[in-house]
Every structure is written in structure tokens, then in C-alpha cells.
Structure 1
Amino acid sequence: MHVVVNAAMSADGKLSSRYREQIRISGEADFDRMDALRAASDAVVVGVGTVLADDPHLTVKDDKRRQRRLEAGKSPSPARVVVDSRGRIPPEAAVIDDAAETYVCVTQDAPTENVDGLAEHATVVPAGTGSVDLPEAFAALESAGLESIMVEGGGELIFSLVETDLVDELRVFVGPRIIGGRDAPTLADGEGFVGDFPELALEDVKRLDGGVVLSWRLDSDAAV
């Protein structure tokens, strides 16, 4: 399995404002870059917070890319995966419609009524108790044939994936905007590292949409 985290953040590292509403940080060129990455993936992964805040569809937008996937014997869009420990995805959420296959990673102790409701629309993947055991969940996804994984956030999920050494690449658009706010979400929220800080190797820098796309490789054997 190869896991790529893709995100757009402000110049001061924020994903959105302290109110957690969606803010346009990048432009059309970066949206197209993201769509191309989706089209090249087997699955797109988000946390339930992203679903509740933005109600994303997580499908490939470009018709030509959808057609190329069909010609390659694939579905028009990759599978969608939501990490949702308590099964809180609302029944009307776009991510569980029939536009693409959907997996929901929950805990073993998630409320039964929530899990049963989700099972009508998605494949439920139970893993861990209290919080989703990400290595176990991702191993189950790999067993289902999902090898190329694109993670689109949010910050809590990204931090947890880095913490458990599941991320291979990090691609970040840094936009020409300052959002600020100590309570605004960042690229890697969660408890944070206090030692053995993960080290990144910069592989590419590209100017785009008035900002820059940074492509990093995570070196799981090094820390600073």
C-alpha cells in the first residue's frame, strides 16, 4: 500500500478558520491537480470531521479522467473511505451515495444502530476500540484491493496516520493567505509530537495558483 496525504493550507499552516468552515485556499489549477491525484488512486480517505463540516462527494470531476478509468476496467471514481469511530455519518451525506463504493472505518464499540444504518450504504470496517486502529483498518482496506491511497484530511486524521507510520508522501499546496487563530485547524492536529519528530525529505517544489506545491517523502527511519 502507498499512502499520499494531499492538503491545501494557508501560509500560516491553517486548513480553515477557527469556525471550521470551508475556505478557498487554492485555485482552479490546484483543484485540477487534486482531481488528477484522485483519478490515479484506488481510494480517497477523509475523517468524519471533514464529512460533517464540508459534506464532500470525493469523486473524480473531470469527464476525461472518469472515462480513462472506465477504459482501464475501473469505476469512474475511486472508493471513498471515512474514518468514523462512532459511525456519525448522517444518512444524507454525499459520501455514502451510489456514485462510488464507500468504506466506513469504525470501532468495535461504535453504537450498533449507527453501524447498522451505515451498513445499508457502505462497507463497514470495524477496527479497534475507543478510536479506530488505523494500521488494522488500512490492512483491511489493502486486503480489499485498495493499494494506492489518497488522504484528504483533516488534521486529526493526518496526525494519527503520521504517528502510526502509515504515510509515504505528503503533498501540500501552500496558499497566499493568512488565516490565523490558535483554534483554527492545522495540517497535523492531535496531541502533537514532543520528541522523535518525523523527518521529511523534500522531493519537488512547484509554483501554482499564486502559491506553491511542496512534495515531501516521509522517512520513517529518521527523526529530529
Structure 2
Amino acid sequence: MHIVVNAAMSADGKLSSRRREQIRISGPEDFARVDRLRAESDAVVVGVGTVLADDPHLTLDDPALIERRREAGRPPHPARVVVDSSARTPPDARILDEAATTYLLVTERADLERRAALAADHVEFVTAGEERVDLLPAFVALADAGIETVMVEGGGELIFSLLECGLVDELSVFVGPTLIGGRDAPTLADGDGFVTDFPDLELAGVERLDEGVLLRWTLEG
């Protein structure tokens, strides 16, 4: 499995404000790039916090990309994956519609009634871990389901957890011309943070997009 983390952050490294509201950081060129990256992926992954804050759909926008996937014998949209320990995804969330298969990664403590409310023919549950989703076996289960290329779109807690587990192969970050500030505003990698064994990044590319810059790194080891 190949995992790419993709994010847009402000010039001071924030994903959104302390209110955790969706803020437009990038522009049309980067939006098109993200759509192409989604089209190349078998699945797009987010944490439940992103679902609750933004209600994303995570489908493709460009009809040409959809048609290209169909011509290649692939589903029109990549699968969607939500890391959701307690099955907090709202039943009416857009990510649960029939546009694509959705995988819900939950734990053994996830309430059975909540699971039942989310059940549908196009929704697949993966149970891994007791209190928090155990990402390693969960992603092994996704690989067993045929998912080979994965795009992770946030948020910061999930990205940190994936980095901590050594599951990230590439990091692609658009840095926009915006300052957000705030000690409580989410960053690219939240969680507990590293104090030793910091992940080593190798710069793979720099490209100007819109009024910002796209930075691409690969992770060593």
C-alpha cells in the first residue's frame, strides 16, 4: 500500500482557525491538483473530526477524471474511508451516500446502535482496536479489500497518528498566503507530538501554485 498525505495549510502552518471552521487556503489550481490526486487513488481517508466539521463528500469534480476511471474499469469515484473510533459519523453525512463505497474504521467499543444506523449496502465496517482505531491492522484490512493507493486528507490528529505508525510514504502540502495564528488552531500534525525519533523527510519537489507553493516530501525508512 502507498499512502500520500495531502493538506493545505496557512503560511504559519495552520489547517484552520481555533474555531475549526473550514477556511479557504488554496485556489483553483490546487483544487484541480487535489482532484487529480483523488482520481489516482483507490481511497480517500479522513478522520471523523473532519466529517463532523466540514461534511465532505470526497468525490471527484472533473467529469473527465470520472470518465477516465470508468474507461480503466475502476469505480467512478475512489472509496471513502473514515477513521471513527466511536462511530460518530452522522447517518446523513454526505460521505455515506451511494456515490462510492465508504469504509468506517471503528473500535470494539463503538455502540452497536450507532453502527446499525450507519449500515448500508455501500458501507463497510472495519473493526480494529479497543479504545482507538489500531491503524496498522485497519489499513491491512483495507489492503486486503484491494485498496493499494491511499490519499489522506486530514485532519491533524489522524495525520500525526499515521506518521507515528510509520504509515506515510509521501507528504504533499500546499502552503497558502494566509496567516491564521492561534495556539489552539489545528496544525498539520497534532496529537502528542514527537520528542524523539522525528520523521525524516526528503524534499521531492517545489512548485508555485495559485498564490502559494506546493511542497512535496517523501519519508525515509
Pair in the same fold by TM > 0.5: yes
SS in 1 for 2:125: strand
Deviation at 1:109, TM superposition (A): 1.4
Asked if 1:176 is matched to 2:177, the reply is: yes
- Residue 161 of structure 2: aligned partner: 160
Q: Which 4+ residue blocks in structure 1 deviate beyond 2 angstroms?
A: none
After TM superposition, the score normalised by the length of structure 1 is: 0.97
Q: Percent identity?
A: 67
Q: RMSD across aligned C-alpha pairs, in angstroms?
A: 0.7
Q: Which amino acid aligns with 2:216?
A: S
Q: Distance in 1 between matches of 2:179 and 2:51?
A: 24
Which residue of structure 1 lines up, in the alignment, with residue 104 of structure 2?
Answer: 104
In the alignment, structure 2 segments of 5+ residues that lack a partner are: none
Q: Secondary structure at the match of 2:114?
A: helix
Quote the Cα distance in structure 1 between the aligned partners of 2:111 and 2:192.
Answer: 25
Contact 1:84 1:132 (C-alpha < 8 Å) held by counterparts: yes
Q: Is the 8 A contact 1:118 1:124 kept in 2?
A: no
Hey, what does 1:44 align to over in structure 2? 44
**Which amino acid in structure 2 is aligned with residue 172 of structure 1?**
V
Q: 1:201 corresponds to which letter in structure 2?
A: E
Structure-2 residue corresponding to 1:69: 69
For 1:198-213, what aligned pairs fall within 5 Å after superposition?
A: 198-213=199-214
Tell me what 1:139 maps to.
140
1:60 corresponds to 2:75: no
Residue 119 of structure 1: how far off its partner (Å)? 2.2
1:54-98 deviations in whole A, cap 9, x for unaligned? Answer: 000000110000000000111110000000000000011000000
TM-score, reference length from structure 2 = 0.98
- Secondary structure (helix, strand or coil) at the match of 2:146 reads coil
**Partners of 2:74 and 2:2 in 1: how far apart?**
18
Matched, 1:27 2:57: no
State the number of aligned residues. Answer: 220
Q: Where does structure 1 lack aligned partners over 5 or more consecutive residues?
A: none
Q: Shift of the alpha carbon at 1:122?
A: 1.1
Structure 2 residue identity aligned to 1:44:
V
d(CA) in 1 for partners of 2:80 and 2:187? Answer: 23
